[in-house]
Structure formats: C-alpha cells, structure tokens
A and B are shown apart, each in its own frame.
Chain A
Amino acid sequence: MDLSRRDLFAAGGKLLILASVGATLEQITGAAPPSESYNVAEHWWGMIVDIDKCIGCGNCVRACSKENQVPQGYFRTWVERYQVGEDQQPHVDSPNGDIDGFPADTRTDVKSFFVPKLCNHCADSPCVQVCPVGATFVSPDGVVLVDKNYCLGCRYCIQACPYGCRYLHPETNTADKCTLCYHRITQGLTTACCEACPTGARQLVDFKNPQDPVHEYLRHNKVQVLKPYMATGAKVYYKDLDGSVR
C-alpha cells in the first residue's frame, strides 16, 4: 500500500477527531452505575454528643482505631478532659487521645468534664473549600470524605480545619480523617464509636429520617456546636456544652 505523509496525517486527524467525539459522547451518555438499596439523597448524617454522659473511658477512641486502622499516634476521634476554674480558663488534657484512658482526676477545686471530639462533618466545610484538587468533599448525604486517589498531600485542609480533626496519613501521605464510618452507616450499622460507647454519650443521627429521635432531641434539649462563630455548618451537636470548650 502506497501511503504518502499527507494521507497519513489526514487519516490520523480524522481518526483522532472521531475517537474524541465518541469518547466524549460515551462519557456524557455513559450508563449510570447500578442502583442500590442505599440512596444518598435520603440521608443527612450528623451526631449528637451528650457531655454529661461521657465518662472518658476511651472506648470510642479504641473502637475507631480498630475499625479504621488509624495509625498509632493519630486520632480520628479523641476525648479531652477539661478542668475549669472560676476564671473560666480551661486546663485541657488528652493523654494519647484517651486511647489508654485518663489518669484519675481527684481535683475538687475545679469543674471538670470530658468532651469527645471528632470531625463535625460541616455542611459548609472550610477543609473542602481550600482543597485545590477536589480530593475532599461533602458527600450528598452530608459526610466530609477524602478521596485518597486525588489527594496530593498538600495539607491545606489540615490547616483549614478549625477543629483539628485532620492529619496526614504517614503511609499514604494523603489527608485522613473521620469518615463517620461511611462503610458502616451506608449498610445500616451505626459508627464504631457509637457502637462501643457504653453510656450512649454519642448518637449517630440522620436529619433526613423523620423517624430519627434527633428531631425530638433537638426540640427538648439545649445544644450547641463547637465554634459556632466559624459558621462551618457543623453537624455534631453537643448537649450541655460549657462555654469554656474550644
């Protein structure tokens, strides 16, 4: 076959144009993924934390660590112990995130209590806003997640989170955080921390489920989110939160 350079370029060009049009069409009209029993549009997840029920046992921290293989020394959830004097200046400690429990506190001259912390799964999350590559996002059911295939490890989100809930995973070098046990809640289980909490201080809630006790709870209890002035749309509601909690 006698093929001139001109013919080759012409044929190559036609092929390229046809292929790209075809590929674009396929992407636009591509078959939707198979429907499943879990519908993201029917849920809007959050959590309520009852400060007065937390006993600082650290069950949630250990459960989270085991469920999600959180690397040692890093925490997706942790418990802080506040000791607040009359000047309302808190002394806060959280030895190793409370994974081994707290040393006994015998001080009676201060108000002391435990505050479990985790990602607040903000609806208007600062960490999502700063991500330059779309690796972190609020899912349609209200969970802030990280796509580790997209994450560059630039750490912007870690700095942006007002609650200190993110870390750089030492092995993958990507941002990592609480997923609200997305693999569990999408199959009808509660989160590992809620499952392991012996006092019911944490409750996973679904704001879009009209049967969820959260609606009753929010009508009858005084609740607060952490750092409300940051306007992050935090969805972890704390009952009886002290003003000294940061």
Chain B
Amino acid sequence: MRQFLRDSGHLVRPAVVLVVGIAAFLLIRTALIPKAFGKYGHYDAAALDRIRQHPVAFAGQDTCVMCHDDQAKARAAGKHAHVSCEACHGPQAAHANADDPSAHKPALPDVANLCRRCHEKDAAKPNDFPQVVTAEHSGGALCTACHQPHNPHL
C-alpha cells in the first residue's frame, strides 16, 4: 500500500482534490438553491406562496352582504343590482376584518364625482348605458337629491 501510494501519489492527490471540489460544489449548490426550486418548472415554487401572502384590500361582495343585508336587498331590487358594494364604497377589507367594524367606518363616497364617472355622457360609452350631461341634467344639484344610490329610480 505504501509502495502504491508512493508510485501513484501524483494521481491520487489530484483525484482527492477533484472529489473534494465536486463535494464543495454540491454543498454550495444545495445551500443556495431553494428547496422548492424546480417543483413545477424552472423557478422557485415557493414564490407562489410568497405572492399569495399579499394582503387583500377588497373584501368581496359576499363579505359585505353578510352584515349589510338591508342595503343588499335594496340594491338587488334596482338597476344597480349587478354593481358590487365596493365598486362605489371602495376597498373595505380593513372595515370587514376589524374586530369592531363600526370603529372602522368607511367614509361615504364623494357623490359629486362618483355618479358621473359612470353616467356622464360620453360618445365612447355603449348606447344602451344610461348617460346624462350632468350640467344640463341636474343644474349642479347632487345626484342623491333625487336618486337613491342603492336603487336609483326616481
């Protein structure tokens, strides 16, 4: 054995260096590559979970209706039946998820600008969509002076 090492040491030593090098490469590679990498493709599958961690701002129609049953009924009876609550009232997850929702009361929408965003006359809007030239239609009066926003017929 001693004789063998003396004669072929020049081969054994680089072989050991090579094996150690490969081992170091594998070790570093394993440490750097995330566990879930390659699970679905050439990317880190854990990114899906990270992206899912993003907080929700819009609670969703079903959540609103859980408490605001009365407004939901009024809305369902009128032409705004298909308009979700948060389309006008804005994102309400903070209100809905609060321990005491009444302490996080959402601000009322700015009616002067809210209604006309949808209903101001515009040639690009579909013809069958109800539109008015607000200046001629109400002469500056707020829409809510005549219309109930949840069920806007007169």
Interface residues of A (CB under 8 A from B): 12-13, 16-17, 19-21, 23-24, 26-27, 30, 33, 40, 52-59, 63, 66-68, 81-83, 101-102, 104-108, 112-114, 134-140, 145, 147, 149-150, 179, 182-184, 186-187, 189-190, 192, 195-200
Contact = CB atoms under 8 A, between A and B. Distances in A.
B86 A196 contact: yes
Given A139-B48, A195-B84, A20 B90 contact: no
Interface in B26-80: 26-27, 30-31, 33, 35-36, 40-44, 46-58, 60-61, 80
Nearest to A25: B30
Given A17-B20, A23-B27, A183-B51, 7 more contacts: A21-B26, A23-B31, A54-B126, A55-B129, A106-B123, A137-B42, A195-B86
A20 B52 contact: no
A103 to B, nearest CB: 9
Given A149-B44, A195-B60, A20 B91 contact: no
Given A13-B23, A184-B56, A101 B51 contact: no
A139 B49 CA distance: 11
A105 B48 contact: no
Given A20-B27, A134-B43, A145-B47, A101 B91 contact: no
Contacts of B129: 55, 199
Nearest to A135: B43
A17 B23 contact: yes
A102 B40 contact: no
A20 B23 contact: yes
B142 interface: no
B123 A108 contact: yes
B104 interface: no
B108 interface: no
B145 interface: no
A66 B47 contact: no
A30 to B, nearest CB: 5
Most B CB within 10 A of own CB, among A17, A68, A197: A17
B48 A196 contact: no
A105 B87 contact: no
Interface string B97-117: 000000000000000000001
B16 interface: yes
B38 to A, nearest CB: 9
Contacts of B60: 189-190, 195
B40 A139 contact: yes
A150 B53 contact: no
A199 B56 CA distance: 22
B20 A13 contact: yes
Contact of B118 (A26, A55, A81): A55
B36 A16 contact: no
12 contacts: A16-B27, A17-B19, A23-B26, A23-B31, A40-B40, A55-B125, A67-B58, A134-B41, A150-B43, A179-B51, A179-B54, A184-B58
Contacts of B42: 134, 137
